[in-house]
Structure 1
Amino acid sequence: MSNTTRRTALGLAGAATLAAPAVLRAQETRTWRMVTSWPRDLPGPGMNARRLAERIGQMSGGRLVVKLYSAGELVPALQVFDAVYSGTAEMAHSASLYWTGKARAAAFFTTIPFGLTPQEHIAWIEHGGGQELWDELYEPFGIKPFMAGSSGMQMGGWFRKPLQGLADLDGLKIRAVGLSADLFRRLGALPVVLGVPDIYAALQTGAVDGVEFLGPSSDRAQGFQQVASHYYWPTFTKPNGTAECLVSRGAWDGLPPDLRAVIANACAAENQFTLTESDWRNAEALEALVGGGGVQLHPWPGDIVAAARLAAEDLLAAFDAAGGIDARIHDSYVAARRRAQLWARASTRAYLEARGVA
């Protein structure tokens, strides 16, 4: 072997030696913990979280395995944000409206009273600057957020007794979270913050008089119709139901670019799948509840809706007055809602009126 050939062979061998650890690192299997705010396999968000974990594993070819913990298995339902912040878990699946005590404007990234519809919300996050503001809001906590599911349009809530008007809300105990709780308080009710696993028992025992949760499919799965027969529409506190995936910034930064893309795309795919699933299953569930489930469907009394709209304006104005990131999120969101108004009237609303009940 000539000296030139020998040097070439040694150079190739050295390059292979240097490249091998990088290849091994790229193929390394990681196992992450995902904590959730939902009972295991709860129709809607519980199944949403499970599918997300499975999508990530499948799309990564098994290089990123996500072990799922339902509410209470590793941490309580309303402590999943802290679990990611502290490093107890690398990921969480929850809803941002639970974290208004930590970051007041977090509620905007799930829903706010009289806010964006599900499709309008996605448009704001993906095209109107919402994602960048969300990232900035959670940055002090070392958390990267993604949309990762949507329970779609919500219902107004379940009540043990019918509501005739605004006076009936006075002193009424209602399970509500986020800005919904603040709004009901302004209407005279007494909001009670409860994690999902605790809601049914509270309604059954009378610890609360009413419950605001999700849409008909998830509500029926919780069994609320067994202890409260009065179901109100439309929602005015929660017109959207975006769930979030929370990822530890430290864990995120430690991923190679392709696995970051896996997480981002798995979240986007699950977000769209869950939104369409919600529409399909909510239609089925509402028909079953009203058709043979003994549920009485009521529109909100007009004076409650009118008072709620005024109260919501005052509630949201406080974000603008606060300045800083809260004001910028408020202003961006309100601008997106204003932008959507004319198109909504000319498209969805006009078409549904033209289509009629058929």
Structure 2
Amino acid sequence: MTDRRGFLKAAPLAAALASAPAVHAAQPALRWRLASSFPKALDALHAAAEQVAQQVSAATGGRFQIQVFAANEIVPPFGVLDAVREGTVECGHSASYYYIGKDPTFAFDCAMPFGLNSRQQNAWLVDGGGMALMRELFAGYNIVNFPCGNTGAQMGGWFRREIRSVADLKGLKMRIGGYAGQVVSRLGVVPQQIPGADVYPALEKGAIDAAEWVGPYDDLKLGFYKVAPYYYYPGWAEAGPQLSLYVNRQGFDALPAEYRQILESACAAAHVAMQARYDARNPAAMKKLIEGGAQLRMFPRDILLACQKEAFALYRETAAANPQFRKVFEPWNRFRSEQHLWTRIAENSVDAFVGRHPVE
């Protein structure tokens, strides 16, 4: 198993693959399959797995090939973890909060409501003890995990009608992923787990009243603004949602050391590239959404406060009942508090000033 030092070596991502070891011709020729939870149409998400496959092939002279399969081609979107655990496929690309039904601790590997933003998530994993905790969790599922993408802060979701207070949430049917569904259910929302490709039809037919997905770039492609015009922010549920590459334990252990390092370096490069894509493309997509009729709204303060209160009440209840969750939550929560104090002083103060005083 690669340790935290190995992950740190992969962190200078541009250099990582350039310095990847040359693969001796005697190394085995391998053909792996990778199951993704995401459709090809959502190219910024799907591209991470493709990038890993391309860079692994390039760094091994084509001797280590990974064939990427989009959601539903060989594995359902929410079946990726089990497929990798059981060895049906050698690896998979997914969002770990899809699997909180197995253990709510999986949410820490992706996004916790009112949790860490993308930079803080990286800090927790690389230098805050988070990677060791996540590796321990995944080891129980016969998987070695690697961070492999982050969207950055997401939006709060699309609604068919305006939401003015907590009372407006009661009875609302909403597609919302991860732990956030359990949070809003405590306020009367009826959460739905629906794969991305099925969200638009559900909104259009009125099967659901609201949906969160990612942000402007993906949301424009999916056309949500046409059937649910009210676009809410901030994305309190997913401030820095991380995706991960899952590798079957036996498959990983059987890899030559050079292949392991190349695979880890490829994941690290894809991890940074995904957020770069979203950060570069979201502004223009937001303009197009507004031009297309999207009505931008900020969540009322009482909703944000109520959701935050319920989120941490839920975390503490879960920690009391689940030792694995408690083992991660307690150090994560301390880290979170320290990070938000520092971010408020440094990052947020600069961002707030620049936002209030734009220069043409």
Q: Same fold (TM over 0.5)?
A: yes
Q: What's the secondary structure of 1:164's corresponding residue?
A: coil
Q: Give the structure 2 partner of residue 334 of structure 1.
A: 333
Does the 8 A contact of 1:77 with 1:196 survive in 2?
no
Whether contact under 8 Å (1:160, 1:230) holds in the other structure is: yes
Q: What is the aligned-residue identity percentage?
A: 35
What amino acid does structure 2 have at the position aligned with 1:237? A
Given the superposition, is the C-alpha separation of residues 298 and 233 from structure 1 closer, same or farther in structure 2, using an over 3 Å criterion?
same
Q: Which SS does the other structure have where 1:356 is aligned?
A: helix
Q: CA deviation at 1:321?
A: 1.3
Q: Which residue does the alignment assign to 2:355?
A: 356
Instruction: After TM superposition, give the deviation of residue 41 of structure 1 in Å.
Output: 4.2
Asked whether 1:309 is paired with 2:293, we answer no
The unaligned stretches of length 5 or more in structure 1 are 1-22
For the pair 1:252 / 2:252, whether they are aligned, the reply is yes
Match of 1:45 in 2: 45
The separation in 2 between residues aligned to 1:48 and 1:223, in whole angstroms, is 23
> For residue 153 of structure 2, what is the aligned residue in structure 1?
153
Alignment of 1:260-339 (within 5 A): 260-290=260-290, 292-339=291-338
Unpaired runs of 5+ residues, structure 2, are 1-23
User: Is 1:190 the equivalent of 2:190?
Assistant: yes
Give the drift of 1:224. Answer: 1.1
Alpha-carbon separation, structure 2, partners of 1:314 and 1:44: 34
1:151–1:240 contact (8 Å) kept in structure 2: yes
How far apart are the structure 2 equivalents of 1:181 and 1:110? 14
Q: CA RMSD in A?
A: 1.3
| Alignment partner, residue 138 of structure 1 | 138
Q: Which amino acid aligns with 2:148?
A: A
> Does residue 78 of structure 2 align to residue 82 of structure 1?
no
- C-alpha displacement at 1:356, in angstroms? 3.0
Query: Which residue does 1:10 correspond to in 2?
Result: none
CA distance in 2, matches of 1:49, 1:241: 16
Contact 1:319–1:330 (Cα < 8 Å) also in 2? no
| CA 323–171 in structure 1, closer or farther in 2 if over 3 Å, else same | closer
Partners of 2:267 and 2:76 in 1: CA distance: 23
Q: Secondary structure at the match of 2:140?
A: helix
Q: Matched residue of 1:44: which SS?
A: helix
- For residues 46 and 223 of structure 1, the distance between their equivalents in structure 2, rounded to whole angstroms, comes to 18
2-side partners of 1:350 and 1:256: how far apart? 47
The question of whether the paired residues in 2 share the 8 Å contact of 1:214 and 1:241 is answered with no
What is the match of residue 106 of structure 1?
Answer: 106
Structure 1 runs of 4+ aligned residues shifted over 6 Å read none
TM-superposed deviation, 1:59: 2.3
Q: Report the alpha carbon displacement of residue 178 of structure 1 after superposing the two structures with TM.
A: 1.4
Q: What is the SS of the residue equivalent to 1:213?
A: coil
- C-alpha distance in structure 1 between counterparts of 2:79 and 2:336, whole Å: 31
Classify the secondary structure of the residue corresponding to 1:232. Answer: strand
Return the alpha-carbon distance in structure 2 between the equivalents of residues 231 and 258 of structure 1.
Answer: 47
> Distance between the aligned counterparts of 1:138 and 1:356, measured in 2?
40
Report the AA paired with residue 277 of structure 1. R
Q: Deviations over 1:116-145 (max 9, x none)?
A: 011000110111111111111111210011
* Partner SS for 2:245: strand
Q: How far is 1:323 from its partner?
A: 4.8
Determine if contact 1:37/1:196 at 8 Å carries over to the other structure: no
* Residue 60 of structure 2: aligned partner: 60
Tell me, what secondary structure is at the counterpart of 2:75? Answer: coil
Range with greater deviation from structure 2 (126-135 or 196-205): 196-205
Shift, 1:152, TM fit: 0.8
State whether residues 29 and 63 of structure 1, in contact with CA within 8 Å, keep that contact through their aligned partners in structure 2. yes
Provide the C-alpha distance between the structure 1 equivalents of 2:253 and 2:147, rounded to a whole number of angstroms: 19
User: Equivalents in 2 of 1:323, 1:181: separation in Å?
Assistant: 19
CA contact (8 A) 1:158 1:212 kept: yes
Residue 197 of structure 2 aligns with an amino acid whose one-letter code is P
Q: Secondary structure at the match of 2:276?
A: helix
The answer as to 2:30 corresponding to 1:30 is yes
Aligned partners of 1:138 and 1:145 also within 8 Å: yes
Scaled by the length of structure 1, the TM-score of the pair is 0.90
Query: In structure 2, how many angstroms separate the alpha carbons of the residues matched to 1:198 and 1:41?
Result: 13
Separation of aligned partners in 2, 1:50 and 1:293: 31
Q: Deviations over 1:212-255 (max 9, x none)?
A: 11111111111212211110000111111211100000100000
Give how far 1:147 is off: 0.5
Aligned equivalents of 1:119 and 1:267: distance in 2? 17
